[in-house]
Amino acid sequence: MAVDDYEELLKYYDLYETIGAGGFAKVKLARHILTGEKVAVKIMDKTSLGDDLPRVKTEIEAMKNLSHQHVCRLYHVIETSKKIFMILEYCPGGELFDYIIAKDRLMEDEARIFFRQIVSAVAYVHSRGYAHRDLKPENLLIDEDQNLKLIDFGLCAKPKGGLDYHLMTCCGSPAYAAPELIQGKAYIGSEADIWSMGVLMYALMCGYLPFDDDNVIILYKKIMRGKYEIPKWLSPGSVLLLNQMLQVDPKKRITVKHLLNHPWLLQGYKCPVEWQSKYPLGYLDEDCITELSVFHKLSKQSTTDLVSEWNYDQTTATYLLLQSKKAHGKPVRLMRSSLAFTSIDSSPFGELKSKKNLNFEDDNCDVPYVLGSIDFTDDCELFEDSPFASMDALTPTVKECSKSESVSQTPAKSRAIVKKSNNKENSDIKSRVKNEFALPAPVTPVCKKINEKGVLTMPNQNTMNSSKDIECMKEIPTWKSPNTDKLAAAVISPERRCRSVDLDLNQAHLDNTHKKKGGKVFGSLERGLDKMITMLTPSKRKGSTRDGPRKLRAHYNVTTTKILNPDQLLKEITRILPEKHVDYIQKGYILKCRTQSDFGKVTMQFELEVCQLNKSEVMGIRRQRVKGDAWVYKKLVEDILSSCKV
């Protein structure tokens, strides 16, 4: 990969670790330099996109037309000769899927909070003439305020004649696909979305799918039959609603309009689901315009004209991120260039570090953290960094349908006429900037080398910017393959050796009281093995690979074990992995696992890590999906963990 492709992106963003890799995109965390706001960057390689290029274009076009509190916001699109970067809203809570499986399943009240938000998002998307066509818990992310955000509009459709027009393309995930869709019949996109919402609601409240089979033909037969098991814990109201959404005949299926004030969705609420956008497209906030105009030394009119072009460039991103700051009660302020890098705290997520006293040390690096690390070896996907994004305090609180829930749609109260940049509000910016914008200092990415023995060395802190440097950083680890026992070569990108930051955002414990008996996923498995899951987050990464396992605070994706010796535990897991046809690379106490199809295609990537639970002798296994089907991953990891004598 040419560094040039990242040049444009790095003008505006500091880039951090990879949090996921999909079929054709990888997602990294970043920070918008001017506003200091965190963002997610979806990175696509044009040359390898091939037939998926239209999907990317569809997604970009759709997201430009959508602005809603439960739809992930697109801020900026950067296209270079080889890459497409989509800069998107930051959702540190990760996927709803992981949240469900960690809790086994959700109690009805909690499911209702999420489902209201899903209905709100889908009603809005439909109102804009789009059908999403890939609704599933992996496509719903949880943001900083524990609200859901719909992502992945690559399969969406906007029929020219309106949403009542028929579509033909069969797309989306088979388990969520409506019967009419899999039969190849012409179908109405909005009706198919309602079916998927039924499957989604079932998954929320049961922790598994209503229609499931490893054999896709049998799966399709089950879907077309429309019969599913009704577990005993579902209330009559839930069963009724599921039945209304999971109607095989699309004409008998409930519509989104009726869902908005369905009795099940109204329970405990005073008003129907609010589906209208709290941030309508084209709405301009005066405070944000003022700040931009002061910053750019432009008149408010010129700034308004510039923002109104909605080019999804740096102007759009800066405006939308200022708006987001305001919505979060943060100061509507931009970094003055001379001050942008004067922060004393050079950690990428400085303010979090200082508030929470977090440890940002890399598990392998002696340097505390690395900034702006770039993956210079795009073709290498074997050592993706895992998110470690915590999701505590996720249990959403039931919100009254009151004014407090909605952000005012009217322009914010205007300020006094701004006289260039010397108004009162900006005059004291220097004194505030250190506190409010504890941003990373412009530290050049620092990487360390791994010597032949796999031991990290810290050569120097030279800038790592020449391709020669990059080349010499490569190393050849080996995959332990169960099938062939051959050693497959892999390359570790410099970025991976220089993991920049633990996104340890939260500290609180997850309320475990919602757990119910009878689920088939991680929670129940762990109960069966007399284990516990506590919602805590990873802490120290120090010494993880050399001295012993990392000490992590318990987290919902950490399974505790009875084995107290980490090496014995590691041995037990590595004994089982080949039996389950899982290849792995061992990196200290981290096992980078993958499965492959018969044709050698990597179908699944995940990490298992032996860790020590903070302040105890108890050993745990942290699991993290990197790539692959979420439910297949769940089953596989369940299978691995239940086969281990742990």
Three-state secondary structure string covering 555-608: CCCEEECCCCCHHHHHHHHHHHHHHCCCEEEEECCEEEEEEECCCCCEEEEEEE
Residues 39-98 touching ligand 6BB, rule: CB under 6 A, are 40, 42, 72, 88, 90-92, 94-95
13 vs 211 by CB, closer to ligand 6BB? 13
Residues 479-508 touching ligand 6BB, rule: CB under 6 A, are 503
User: Cβ 90 to ligand 6BB, closest distance in Å?
Assistant: 5
| DSSP E strands, 392-492 | 449-450, 456-457, 478-480, 487-489
44 vs 273 by CB, closer to ligand 6BB? 44
User: Cβ 88 to ligand 6BB, closest distance in Å?
Assistant: 4
User: Cβ 573 to ligand 6BB, closest distance in Å?
Assistant: 23
Q: Is 27 a binder of ligand 6BB (CB under 6 A)?
A: yes
SS3 category, 167: strand
Q: Is 289 a binder of ligand 6BB (CB under 6 A)?
A: no
CB-based closest residue to ligand 6BB: 20
Residues 503-562 touching ligand 6BB, rule: CB under 6 A, are 503
Phi and psi (nearest 5°) for 288?
-70, -40
Query: Among 14, 20, 196, 394, which residue sits at the site for ligand 6BB (rule: CB under 6 A)?
Result: 20
40 vs 223 by CB, closer to ligand 6BB? 40
SS3 category, 488: strand
Residues 396-415 touching ligand 6BB, rule: CB under 6 A, are none
How many CB atoms are closer than 10 A to CB 529?
Answer: 17
For residues 137 and 95, the answer to whether their CB atoms sit within 8 Å is yes
Q: Which residues are registered as beta bridge partners of 613? A: 552
Distance CA 120, CA 117 (A): 5
Q: Which two three-digit tokens encode residue 293?
A: 């105009």
Residues 126-185 touching ligand 6BB, rule: CB under 6 A, are 141, 151
The b/e string for 310-334 (b: 16+ C-beta within 10 A; e otherwise) is: eebebbbbbbbbbbbbbeeeebbbb
User: Cβ 146 to ligand 6BB, closest distance in Å?
Assistant: 13
131 vs 501 by CB, closer to ligand 6BB? 501
91 vs 254 by CB, closer to ligand 6BB? 91
29 vs 610 by CB, closer to ligand 6BB? 29
Residues counted in the chain: 646
95 vs 385 by CB, closer to ligand 6BB? 95
Residues 405-464 touching ligand 6BB, rule: CB under 6 A, are none
175 CB contacts (<8 Å, ≥6 apart)?
Answer: 136, 199, 209, 211, 212, 219, 631
User: Cβ 415 to ligand 6BB, closest distance in Å?
Assistant: 32
Q: How many residues belong to the site for ligand 6BB (CB under 6 A)? A: 18
Radius of gyration of the chain measured on its C-alpha atoms = 25
Query: Among 33, 389, 429, 590, which residue sits at the site for ligand 6BB (rule: CB under 6 A)?
Result: 389
Query: Among 1, 15, 19, 241, which residue sits at the site for ligand 6BB (rule: CB under 6 A)?
Result: 19
Query: Among 210, 387, 477, 549, which residue sits at the site for ligand 6BB (rule: CB under 6 A)?
Result: 387
* Amino acid occupying residue 225: R
User: Cβ 152 to ligand 6BB, closest distance in Å?
Assistant: 6
Q: List active site positions.
A: 134
User: Cβ 250 to ligand 6BB, closest distance in Å?
Assistant: 29
414 CB contacts (<8 Å, ≥6 apart)?
Answer: 286
User: Cβ 196 to ligand 6BB, closest distance in Å?
Assistant: 18
92 vs 210 by CB, closer to ligand 6BB? 92
Q: Which two three-digit tokens encode residue 220?
A: 């399709």
Angle at 397 between CA 391 and CA 398, to 5 degrees: 145
Find the Cα–Cα–Cα–Cα dihedral 431, 437, 443, 449, rounded to 10°: 150
For residues 264 and 392, the answer to whether their CB atoms sit within 8 Å is no
298 vs 602 by CB, closer to ligand 6BB? 602
User: Cβ 642 to ligand 6BB, closest distance in Å?
Assistant: 24
Q: Which residue stretches of 279-378 are H helix?
A: 286-296, 300-308, 314-327, 350-356
Number of DSSP helices (H) and strands (E) in the chain, helices first: 22, 20
* Amino acid occupying residue 122: V
Q: Is 628 a binder of ligand 6BB (CB under 6 A)?
A: no
Q: Which helix (H) or strand (E) holds 56?
A: helix 53-64
User: Cβ 476 to ligand 6BB, closest distance in Å?
Assistant: 27
153 vs 319 by CB, closer to ligand 6BB? 153
From 19-27, 221-229, 444-452, 583-591, give the range in contact with ligand 6BB by CB under 6 A: 19-27
619 CB contacts (<8 Å, ≥6 apart)?
Answer: 549, 560, 561, 563, 564, 565, 566, 569, 610, 611, 612, 613
Residues lying near ligand 6BB in the complex (CB under 6 A) are found at 19-20, 27, 29, 40, 42, 72, 88, 90-92, 94-95, 141, 151, 387, 389, 503
